[in-house]
Amino acid sequence: MAVSSRPTDHHSTSYMRKRQRSFVELSGHLPPAMIFISLPAYTMSVPWVNDIRPAVFVFLSTLMCGGRLVSSEIAQERQALLDFLDRVPHSPRINWSSAAASSPCDWVGVGCDPTRSSITSLRLPGANLAGPVPFDTIGRLTNLRVISLRSNRLSGEVPDDFSKLTRLYSLYLQDNAFSGEFPTSVTKLTRLNRLDISSNSFSGTISFSINNLTRLTGLFMENNLFSGPLPSIDSDGLIDFNVSNNNLNGSIPSSLSKFPESAFSGNPGLCGGPMAACSPFIGSPYPSPGSPSPNPPHERSNNLATAAIVGIAVCCTVFSLLILLVLLLCLRRWQYRRQPAEQPKSPIVAAASTQAVPGPGDAGTSLSNDGVTGEPFEIRGSEERNGLVFLEGGVYTFQLEDLLRASADVLGKGSIGTSYKAVLEDGRTVVVKRLKHVAASKKEFEDQMVMLGEIKHENLVPLRAFFSSKDEKLLVYDYLPAGSLSALLHGSGVSGHTPLHWDNRLKIAIRACRGLAHLHQSAKVVHGNIKSSNILLHPDHHTAYVSDYGLSPIFGPPSPPTRIPGYRAPEEIETQKATLKSDVYSFGVLLLELLTGKAPCQDLEVVEGIDLPRWVQSVVREEWTAEVFDAEIMRYNNIEEELMHVLQIAMACVSVVPDQRPGMAEVVRMMEEMGRDDSLRQSSHDPTKG
Ligand SMILES: Nc1ncnc2c1ncn2[C@@H]1O[C@H](COP(=O)(O)OP(=O)(O)OP(=O)(O)O)[C@@H](O)[C@H]1O
- From the CB of 565, is ligand 1 less than 6 Å away? no
- From the CB of 534, is ligand 1 less than 6 Å away? yes
pLDDT (0 to 100) of residue 462: 92
What is the CA(492)–ligand 1 centre distance, in A?
12
Ligand 1 atom at minimum distance from 562 CA: 26
pLDDT (0 to 100) of residue 166: 92
Ligand 1 atom at minimum distance from 534 CA: 21
- C-alpha 526/C-alpha 574 separation (Å) is 17
The string of pLDDT tens digits covering residues 241-264 is 999 999 998 889 888 988 889 999
478: helix, strand or coil: strand
- C-alpha 530/C-alpha 459 separation (Å) is 14
| Better-scored residue on pLDDT, 339 or 144 | 144
Mean pLDDT of 222-248: 89
What is the CA(334)–ligand 1 centre distance, in A?
42
| Better-scored residue on pLDDT, 182 or 240 | 182
Peptide bond into 132 cis (omega under 30): no
pLDDT (0 to 100) of residue 673: 81
- E strand or H helix at 211: none
Distances 180 to 177, 200, 213 between C-alpha atoms, Å: 10, 10, 20
pLDDT at 283 over 80: no
pLDDT at 382 over 70: no
The proportion of the chain whose per-residue pLDDT surpasses 90, expressed as a percent, equals 31
Among 174, 230, 170, which Cα is nearest to 202's?
Answer: 174
Least confident of 424-433, 576-585, 642-651: 424-433
Q: Which of 469-478, 539-548, 550-559, 612-621 has the highest mean pLDDT?
A: 539-548
pLDDT at 53 over 60: no
What is the CA(172)–ligand 1 centre distance, in A?
32
pLDDT at 188 over 80: yes
What is the CA(412)–ligand 1 centre distance, in A?
6
pLDDT (0 to 100) of residue 141: 95
- Mark out the alpha helices in 406-498 (DSSP H runs): 442-453, 485-490
Mutate which of 21, 419, 475, 555 for ligand 1? The one with the most ligand atoms within 8 Å of its CB, which is 419
Mean pLDDT of 191-214: 91
- C-alpha 498/C-alpha 408 separation (Å) is 26
Q: What angle, 0 to 180 degrees and rounded to 10, lies between the N-to-C axes of helices 664-672 and 502-521?
A: 150
Contact status, residue 644 vs residue 634, Cβ threshold 8 Å:
no
Q: What angle do CA 133, 136, 141 make, to 5 degrees?
A: 90
- C-alpha 38/C-alpha 641 separation (Å) is 57
Mean pLDDT of 143-156: 91
Average pLDDT, the chain: 74
pLDDT (0 to 100) of residue 679: 44
pLDDT at 300 over 70: no
pLDDT (0 to 100) of residue 101: 77
pLDDT (0 to 100) of residue 563: 67
- From the CB of 233, is ligand 1 less than 6 Å away? no
CB count in 10 Å sphere of residue 514: 26
Least confident of 422-431, 443-452, 590-599, 669-678: 669-678
- Residue whose Cα lies nearest atom 23 of ligand 1: it is 414
pLDDT band at 280 (very low <50, low <70, confident <90, very high): low
pLDDT (0 to 100) of residue 629: 87
The string of pLDDT tens digits covering residues 96-129 is 888 877 889 888 889 888 788 899 889 898 888 9
Ligand 1 atom at minimum distance from 533 CA: 31
477: helix, strand or coil: strand
Spatial CB neighbours of 608, under 8 Å, sequence gap ≥ 6 = 599, 601, 602
- C-alpha 368/C-alpha 376 separation (Å) is 19
pLDDT at 219 over 90: yes
The proportion of the chain whose per-residue pLDDT surpasses 70, expressed as a percent, equals 69
Mutate which of 477, 533, 551 for ligand 1? The one with the most ligand atoms within 8 Å of its CB, which is 533
pLDDT band at 636 (very low <50, low <70, confident <90, very high): confident
- Mark out the alpha helices in 22-148 (DSSP H runs): 32-43, 47-64, 72-87
The string of pLDDT tens digits covering residues 487-499 is 888 876 544 566 8
CB count in 10 Å sphere of residue 455: 18
Mutate which of 418, 433, 484, 559 for ligand 1? The one with the most ligand atoms within 8 Å of its CB, which is 484
| Better-scored residue on pLDDT, 273 or 286 | 273
- From the CB of 355, is ligand 1 less than 6 Å away? no
Mean pLDDT of 39-46: 36
CB count in 10 Å sphere of residue 26: 18
Residue type at 238 in one-letter notation: L
What is the CA(673)–ligand 1 centre distance, in A?
31
pLDDT at 600 over 90: no
pLDDT (0 to 100) of residue 545: 97
pLDDT (0 to 100) of residue 163: 93
For the question of an ipTM over 0.90, the answer is: yes
Maximum Cα–Cα distance across the chain: 106
